[in-house]
Amino acid sequence: MVTPLELIKKKRAEAVARIIGRGYLSTKRVYVGMATCEIAAGSKEVMEVFREAIANGLPDVYLSQKGCAGRCNLEPTVEVVEEGKIPVKYGRVTPDRARQIIERHLKQGQVIEEWVI
């Protein structure tokens, strides 16, 4: 028979594993604009580039979507938030630009100034 304390320990371990598995403790966070207008501008394809990179081993990155930023002329937008640094918001992100953000910003730490909004 399982004791209440053992059950609590098991549930806690499962919760911690879910938190870590979903990347909630990552030091890098990427938010892709997924409001209706951003989806129309191509943000689903941009989101997929980041999903694939994470699935293929891009470490320590939490990926999520965000709502309307009120900058329709600059969509799709991607925000990169890194622990201890000022958040960076990129505009007019295409799948190709997303791949470059992954390589240059997330892997090498180089902000791509010409795309920053």
What is the per-residue pLDDT for 71? 83
What is the per-residue pLDDT for 12? 92
- Domain assignment of residue 47, given as a range: 23-115
What is the per-residue pLDDT for 55? 94
Give me the residues of the chain with pLDDT under 70, please: none
> Which CATH number fits the domain that encloses residue 68?
3.40.30.10
Contact 7, 40 (CB under 8 A): no
What is the per-residue pLDDT for 31? 97
Sequence-distant (≥ 6) Cβ neighbours of residue 98 within 8 angstroms: 46, 49, 50, 78
Q: Is residue 76 part of a domain?
A: yes
Q: How many domains does the chain have?
A: 1
Q: Is residue 99 part of a domain?
A: yes
What is the per-residue pLDDT for 45? 98
What is the per-residue pLDDT for 110? 97
Q: Is residue 18 part of a domain?
A: no
Q: Is residue 69 part of a domain?
A: yes
Distance CA 108, CA 102 (A): 9
Q: Is residue 17 part of a domain?
A: no
Q: Is residue 9 part of a domain?
A: no
Distance CA 89, CA 4 (A): 47
What is the per-residue pLDDT for 23? 76
